[in-house]
Homo-oligomer: A and B are copies of this chain.
Amino acid sequence: MREGLSVGEAQDRILEATPRLGDETIPAFEAAGRVLAEPIDSTRRHPPADSSAMDGYALRREDVSKASAESPVSLPVVFEVPAGGHGVRPLAPGEAARIFTGAPLPEGADAVVRQEDTRAGKGRVEIRVTPSPGEHVRRAGEDFQAGDRLIEAGVVLGPAHLGVLASIGRSMVAVHQQPSVALLSSGDELVEPDRPVDGGRIVSSNSYTLAAQCREIGARPIYLGIAPDEPRSIEKRLRAGLRADVIVSSAGVSVGDHDHVRGVLERIGCRLRFWGVRMKPGYPLAFGVIEATGTLVFGLPGNPVSAAVTFEEFVRPALRKMMGHRSLFRPVVRARLAESLHKKAGRLHFVRVRLESRDGEVWARATGNQSSGVLTSLIRGEGLAIFPAESETLVAGSEVHVQILDMGFFDRADRGF
């Protein structure tokens, strides 16, 4: 066990110890946002036959090779192709057939002239353009052939993927499982939000934030409640979390005499891998693994902001790795600092910032009080500016990297084009 790792070292050690979870097979209809655990190959071709891309007339191109608006060519309309194309006879030279988008091309036809380029008469149609070969025809298998690899394993399934799965008749797909995360708060002063807060009690808000952080990425929170600062009680509640993939406790891993969680963790078979990360907010971060089960254990600081930020930096990438994601980290944008920042060298600071776009540049401004107890500073900003460990000053106007926590930052109030 080492103390005081850098943020990067801590992330590396956590991810080394983090397994990718196994697969489960679920209805494709419910698979949006999940990471595909198998490649998808087509069992059929699409479109199944040459078909029309427009509403218009199927014909033989040679019959209208000199047609134009000035000298249209008139053809008899000998039948209409039904949508499914059943029972259609081949098209003979000099004939046209009425056809609609998606209907299969009759044998013999090699082009479609769209309705707008024709004039319909009684049983006949005037063709007013010369189509190019195969114009407005979708070729059989143009989209994909039987056996084609359609989707690679590891892809995050979006709406279009579900459409593709439907189009080849796949109703069930294998995806990576989503981790369960047991959440425990500890502290004698903590109460649930529906309880009175007299006598110095404060609401245990961490679990509400952490549960939402889990849900946001598809992990399943299991809230173990609040344990008083008493080893047996903490141990009992933690044991209720042993079947989860991840245990996250907040508070109780500080250096204080009251911090029993660390000892308790050892008693339930958790081997601590490190304790303490050189960052602010959030120094006292503990990470371990329950040896018998492989359950990851994170001991987060009790301060609301420290808990939320350490979850972001350490727990979230691990959960994303478990569920098969390749991109484990938040987006990072470059921004200019609206004001200078100062600190001592030694710890990387994650500074809560509000972002504003001005003249094509993004400007970052710290959200006032950066004390780790100030939960409201997290809701006032969109991101965390990276103030590197060894820096002491970032001057106003200089460039910083900002992790984007609120993806709404990217959305637009105007259409942007």
Contacts and interface: CB of A to CB of B under 8 A. Distances in A.
Interface stretch (A59-67, A188-196, A264-272): A188-196
Given A100-B254, A162-B209, A401 B416 contact: yes
Interface in A293-333: 302-304, 308, 325-332
A151 B379 contact: yes
A169 B189 contact: no
Interface in A91-125: 98, 100-104, 115-116
Interface string A147-173: 000110001101111111111111100
A410 B407 contact: yes
A379 B329 contact: no
Given A166-B193, A193-B170, A55 B256 contact: yes
Contact of A412 (B84, B167, B216, B329): B329
Interface in A125-165: 138, 142-144, 150-151, 155-156, 158-165
Nearest to A160: B378
A361 interface: no
A313 to B, nearest CB: 9
B210 A159 contact: yes
B330 A412 contact: yes
Given A169-B203, A194-B171, A327-B411, A417 B332 contact: yes
B375 A163 contact: yes
Given A193-B167, A302-B102, A329-B411, A162 B374 contact: no
Interface stretch (A46-54, A238-246, A335-343): A46-54
- A interface, over-half SS: loop
Contacts of A288: none
Contact of A162 (B169, B208, B254, B259): B208
A211 interface: yes
A169 B187 contact: no
A214 to B, nearest CB: 9
A44 interface: yes
Contacts of A302: 101-102
Nearest to A196: B169
Interface residues of A, number: 118
Nearest to A163: B209
A376 B417 CA distance: 25
Interface stretch (A16-24, A68-76, A175-183, A365-373): A365-373
Contacts of A170: 193
A215 interface: yes
A416 B104 contact: no
A284 to B, nearest CB: 9
Contact of A169 (B188, B194, B403): B194
A395 interface: no
B86 A200 contact: yes
A197 interface: yes
A258 interface: yes
A26 interface: no
A414 interface: yes
Given A197-B44, A210-B159, A256-B115, A167 B375 contact: yes
A200 to B, nearest CB: 4
A162 B212 contact: yes
Nearest to A200: B85
B332 A412 contact: yes
B413 A32 contact: no
A386 interface: yes
Contacts of A410: 331, 404, 407, 410
Contacts of A200: 48-49, 51, 84-86, 103-104
7 contacts: A160-B209, A160-B308, A160-B379, A167-B202, A168-B193, A329-B414, A331-B416
